Structure 1
Amino acid sequence: MTPVSSHSRPAIPATVWMLGIVSLLMDVSSEMINALLPLYLAGGLGASALVIGFIEGLSVAIATATKFFSGVLADLSRRAKPLAVLGYGLGALSRLIFPWAISLDQIVLAKAMDRVGKGIRGTPRDAIIAAVSPPAIRGASFGLRKSLDTLGGFIGPLVAVAAMLALAGNIQLVFWLAAIPAALCMAVLIFFVREPAGTPVKKKTSFRLSEVFTLNRSVWSVIGLAALIMLARFSEAFVLLKGLEAGISPAWVPLSLVIMHAAYGLSAYPVGRMSDQIGTRGLLLWGLSFLIAAHLTLAFASSVWLYVLGTVFWGLHMGFSQGLLGAMIAGATPEYLRGSAFGSFNLVTGLVVLGGNTAAGFLWHSFGSHAPFIAGAVLSLMAMVVIATRGQGHTN
């Protein structure tokens, strides 16, 4: 294929820019809430670490289940934008529940609504980007959307810190402010995103329960490995709670997410490039090494600097592991079974995250804040042993 000259390369369409801004605004809103929600649950509602772990795990499980149903919705829908409006709209509506929430069940409702919306909106959004982008710049279009989304992940915690300082630590008022970027997101989506006429939602390979039994041993070994890793890497909510013990003021705790995202963002792209050349095995071992370092550092973090170092290690782990397991699933599965393989992968890891976060909360509640991190380090070491003994010199 002849490369396209940079001089003749078409410009990225305005619709892609608008969808990138939509992602940015929603991510700002999400991170403003996610950065403070564990602190609000523990301090404002008196929730134990066990309850916080269950809520975080349940959110992931709901999002996982929604991905299955979103495939059905995508197949039934002839238009992408209404489905995207539904997904982003549910997320925006959830922002109106968080500030009013005075009980745990209301928080669970808001989190569930947000996660359902997130599960719905990805497919139609990507379908619009693919439809409006010429093949020569399709990669750039998707990259731009992801970059703007990541930028929202940086901005959200920073806005949360500034708002906490300006509002004397009133978390509920910050939650009200989080509704503003969500509302702007909906305005941009409804009035400025133009969907080409006759653009259907791209049909995905569906998950078929009957085909789970035809998946080969290699696929299930990857799924089992992923389950072990997800069990070792519980929710970042516990990292945020640990910041309070390290002596960080609640107003400044969200900055740990900024640091974590910085380490993640700076490492993810070069790691992805390396995986194409050297395979995933060595990189996963490095990623688990960083996770062990993060767990042990955070378990005994008695100062702000040790805590910051732990969050950097956590971000590096994310950069060295996110996406690699998916590549391993794809490499181990015949093309006609990939839908079922990824469906099984999402189902198993979703259930594991629910159990793992609940277990982490139980350990924190029963034995102290160091306990879940030590357990996570042990599980990470077990995962390293599994990878090292798989007998593959070059895992793709």
Structure 2
Amino acid sequence: MQDSGKNNYFSRLREIPPAVWALGLVSMLMDISSEIIHALLPVYLVTVLGTSMLTVGFIEGIAEATASITKVFSGALSDWLGKRKLLAVIGYGLAAFTKPIFPLASSVGWLVAARFIDRIGKGIRGAPRDALVADIAPANLRGASFGLRQSLDTVGAFLGPALAIGLMWLTANHFQAVFWVAVIPAFLAVGLLLFAVHEPKRPQGLRGARSPFSLVELKRLGLAYWWVVGIAVVFSTARFSEAFLILRAQAVGLPVTLVPMVLVLMNFVYALAAYPAGVLSDRANRITVLAMGFGLLAAADLVLSFTNGLAGVAAGVALWGLHMGFTQGLLATLVADTAPPELRGTAYGIFNLLCGLAVLAASVLAGALWDGVGPEGTFLAGAVFTGLALALLALTRRIAPTVGQTPKSA
């Protein structure tokens, strides 16, 4: 039985369409590029350009809000055009062409512009890319396909900061030299997307979405889709920024020079878990697998609430990474399962916007609790919101019984 399970695991990898692999590698390369820069940018702004922490916070807040808002419109536009790849190329292309600005910039204004355009690119590509994965992947491999893309994306998320540390050591802290290295994977990502990903032909008889944001079209998304979005939004209020993991590690004595290792550990575990979780969701009820992910977040919150040492924080961070692996790709899969094919771009845009706003609100609340009652209050509140999301998940069979049933290929 064990050998059969392993064979099934690896055979699924072979069965996943090459275009999904390519999209995953595109995400990985762009993440490596972006994370090399983003891991160093706050320090560069403060120590080299002399900006204030308030300015750093303003830049990051505006950048992420821009990405979330843009996702909605790019997803709807991909439905209206009936084309996904074009928008994905534009989004990744914008991000790539901003990368040389970082080593060349001589003022904060140039960096703000580059960060802003980079996030616009992220917003443009996000929803069309996810819809493209859903269009390409066979229904019975959808969980594995989203899990693979998420795994490869997250490999970039931990390789980027790790490379930033190594490159800063090799270059004796020469920020501009490291930023130039980050340019290379960004342009490789765009080239791979252009030449290795071929958009499938639109199925005959599939109706067009002339006004994706009209009330008629939004109703077509259906109860099952909106139920998934509702659960995801409540769950996102428990998923505040990973910056609080770093603060927790610092609070128990992690040296500042080792702070990036918190995100490296989290993303390493995340990358390892995402594909197996996707495969499991193709073989079992997706709601059951999602409940496991919710439970892992609750466990992470409890560990991080009560630990007083680095070993406990490491365990909590690893559990946080596991929960990400069991939830993020799976939630994207559930959107693909429940949204009509002609409205998938719009569906992902709305989903990403609402979840992004929920994470923003959660991070503000987490910060207020941290200042008011300490880290214990922050992580215990996260556990409470996770419990609420689990309670909603338990109602799924009654409210939207089709959600979580694994589709079969034709």
How would you bin the TM-score normalised by the shorter chain?
A: 0.7 to 0.9
SS in structure 1 at match of 2:257: coil
CA deviation profile, 1:288-309 (whole Å, cap 9, x unmatched): 2211121222234432211211
Which whole-Å CA distance do the structure 2 matches of 1:141 and 1:381 have between them? 28
Contact conserved, 1:333 with 1:341, CA < 8 A, in 2?
Answer: yes
| Aligned positions of 1:158-169 closer than 5 A | 158-166=162-170
Select between 179-188 and 121-130 the one with higher mean Cα deviation: 121-130
Q: Are residues 1:267 and 2:273 paired?
A: yes
Q: Whose helix proportion is higher, 1 or 2?
A: 2
Q: CA deviation at 1:38?
A: 6.5
Distance 1:382 1:175 in 2: 46
CA shift, 1:375, in A, is 1.5
1:87 alignment partner in structure 2: 91
The AA in structure 1 aligned to 2:182 is P
Which residue of structure 2 aligns with residue 280 of structure 1? 286
What CA deviation, in whole Å up to 9, does each residue of 1:244-280 have, x standing for no partner? 2232223322222222222222222222222223212
Contact kept in structure 2, 1:278 and 1:394, CA below 8 Å? no
Residues 26-56 of structure 1 show CA distances to partners (whole Å, capped at 9, x for unaligned) of: 22122223445567789985637xx85x866
Matched, 1:232 2:238: yes
* 1:231 and 1:352 in contact (8 A); partners too: yes
Task: Return the offset for 1:148.
Answer: 5.2
Letter in 2 for 1:288: F
Q: CA 1:101 to 1:375, structure 2 compared with 1: closer, same or farther past 3 Å?
A: farther
1:178 equivalent in structure 2: 179
Deviation per residue, 1:129-183 (Å, 9 max, x gap):
999x9x9xx9999998776544433321211222454567x5xx44751342324
Q: Unmatched 5+ residue regions in structure 2?
A: 1-10, 405-410
| CA contact 1:299–1:370 (8 Å) conserved in 2 | yes
Deviation at 1:287, TM superposition (A): 1.1
- 2:369 match: 363
The structure-2 alpha-carbon separation of the partners of 1:381 and 1:20, relative to structure 1 and needing over 3 Å to count, comes to: closer
Say which of 258, 263, 269 aligns to 1:252: 258
The question of whether the paired residues in 2 share the 8 Å contact of 1:23 and 1:185 is answered with no
Alpha-carbon separation, structure 1, partners of 2:96 and 2:294? 35
Q: Is the 8 Å Cα contact of residues 284 and 324 (structure 1) preserved in structure 2?
A: yes
Matched ranges for 1:23-34 at <5 A: 23-34=27-38
Within-5 A mapping of 1:193-212: 194=195, 207-211=212-216, 212=218
Unaligned 5+ segments in structure 1 are 1-5
Q: 1:294 aligns with which of 300, 324, 336?
A: 300
Q: How does 1:32-181 map to 2 (within 5 A)?
A: 32-36=36-40, 47=53, 52=57, 59-71=63-75, 74=78, 86-95=90-99, 109-121=113-125, 149-166=153-170, 173-174=174-175, 177-181=178-182
Q: Aligned partners of 1:336 and 1:200: how far apart in 2?
A: 13
Q: How far apart, CA to CA, are the structure 2 residues paired with 1:64 and 1:388?
A: 29
Q: Helix, strand or coil: the match of 2:258?
A: coil
Q: Note if contact 1:87-1:116 (Cα within 8 Å) is conserved in structure 2.
A: yes
CA RMSD of superposed structures (Å): 4.8
Provide the C-alpha distance between the structure 2 equivalents of 1:288 and 1:144, rounded to a whole number of angstroms.
20
Q: Give the Cα separation in 2 of the matches to 1:352 and 1:182.
A: 32
Residues 269, 91 of structure 1: alpha-carbon distance in 2 compared, 3 angstrom cutoff = same
Distance 1:152 1:68, change over 3 A: same
Equivalence for 1:382: 388
- Native 8 Å contact 1:164 1:251 kept in 2: no
Report the equivalent of 1:315: 321
The match for 2:5 is none
Q: What's 2:7 paired with? A: none
SS of structure 2 residue aligned to 1:208: coil
Larger deviation, residues 94-103 vs 225-234 = 94-103
Are the equivalent residues in 2 in contact too, given 1:79–1:199 (CA < 8 A)? no
SS in 1 for 2:53: coil
Sort the Cα spacing of 1:218 and 1:85 in 2 relative to 1 into closer, same or farther, 3 A.
Answer: closer
Q: CA deviation at 1:19?
A: 7.2
Q: Match of 1:232, SS?
A: coil
Task: Report the more deviating stretch, 69-78 or 313-322.
Answer: 69-78
Q: Check whether the contact 2:64–2:119 (CA below 8 A) recurs between aligned residues.
A: yes
Cα drift, residue 217 of structure 1: 4.2
Q: Does the CA contact (< 8 Å) of 2:76 and 2:212 recur in 1?
A: no
User: Contact 1:38/1:237 (CA < 8 Å) preserved in 2?
Assistant: no
Aligned to 1:350: 356
Matches within 5 A, 1:316-331: 316-331=322-337
Say if 1:166 and 1:187 are closer, same or farther in 2 by CA, change over 3 A: closer
Match of 1:305 among 292, 296, 311: 311
Query: How far apart are 1:232 and its partner, in Å?
Result: 0.5
1:113–1:150 CA distance, 2 compared to 1 (3 A): same
CA shift for structure 1 position 321: 1.0
| Percent of residue pairs identical | 42
Contact 1:154 1:261 survives alignment (8 Å): yes
Whole-Å separation in 2 of the counterparts to 1:245 and 1:67? 35
8 Å contact 1:85–1:190 — kept in the other structure? no
